[in-house]
């Protein structure tokens, strides 16, 4: 899709959501199912993928790990958000590349040590191919990050509720 079409689509969405803010409230649902072993089928009813763990964890390596998908979600969402925001703000980015680096303690997966299993430090490295200056680009990146769902989910605390059901 061209930048002009992306901008027109985004602007139409903004107009519609300004007129009807409740139209922007949604719940995304996804289910993960594991039978024998650790390979996990994941589907939202439209898209599906297979997630597994490597043999060194007891899996069979049939698919990428959950961590890969979590980092991919952050990297892709940030890259798309930056590109879309730049287009809406009238800047051209020829390429956006986002690298996610996470530090964590694998021992915590087994309850070992003092750390939690959550990443304890995350770095995002954003590389841009653009003719615009850093002064022009910086506010666009800031705006993109402040409106990016997966960046904010990673950065900000949120309510998480668990409902355990024996079936």
Mean confidence (pLDDT) of the chain: 95
Mean pLDDT of 106-122: 93
Q: Which of 37, 64, 91 is the last residue of a domain?
A: 64
- The Cα angle at residue 151 between residues 6 and 34, in degrees rounded to 5: 100
- Banded pLDDT at 162 (limits 50, 70, 90): very high
Mean pLDDT of 3-16: 94
Q: Model-level pTM greater than 0.75?
A: yes
List residues bridging with 127 in a β-sheet. Answer: 97
- Banded pLDDT at 36 (limits 50, 70, 90): very high
Q: Count the Cβ atoms, other than its own, within 10 Å of residue 40.
A: 19
Domain count, the chain: 2
Same domain? 38 vs 117? no
Same domain? 54 vs 81? no
Mean pLDDT of 137-147: 97
Model pLDDT, residue 72: 96
Q: What percent of the chain has pLDDT over 70?
A: 100
- Banded pLDDT at 93 (limits 50, 70, 90): very high
List residues bridging with 32 in a β-sheet. Answer: 42
Same domain? 115 vs 56? no
Q: Which of 41, 64, 87 is the last residue of a domain?
A: 64
Question: Contact, 137 vs 128, CB < 8 A?
Answer: yes
Query: Which domain, by its residues, includes 58?
Result: 29-64
Mean pLDDT of 146-164: 93
Model pLDDT, residue 79: 98
Rg of the chain in Å (alpha carbons): 19
């Amino acid at each position: 899709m061209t930048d002009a079409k992306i901008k027109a689509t985004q602007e139409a969405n903004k107009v519609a959501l300004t007129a009807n803010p409740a139209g922007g409230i949604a719940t995304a649902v996804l289910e993960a199912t594991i039978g024998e072993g650790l390979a996990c089928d994941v589907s939202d009813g439209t898209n599906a993928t297979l997630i597994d763990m490597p043999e060194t964890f007891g899996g069979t390596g049939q698919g990428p790990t959950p961590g890969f998908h979590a980092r991919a979600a952050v990297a892709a969402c940030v890259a798309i958000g930056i590109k879309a925001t730049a287009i809406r703000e009238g800047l051209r980015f020829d390429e956006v590349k986002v690298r996610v680096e996470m530090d964590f303690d694998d021992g915590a997966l087994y309850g070992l040590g003092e750390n939690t299993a959550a990443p304890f430090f995350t770095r995002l490295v954003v590389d841009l191919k653009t003719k615009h200056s850093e002064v022009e680009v910086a506010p666009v990146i800031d705006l993109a990050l402040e409106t990016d769902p997966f960046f904010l989910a990673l950065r900000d605390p949120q309510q998480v509720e668990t409902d355990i059901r024996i079936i």
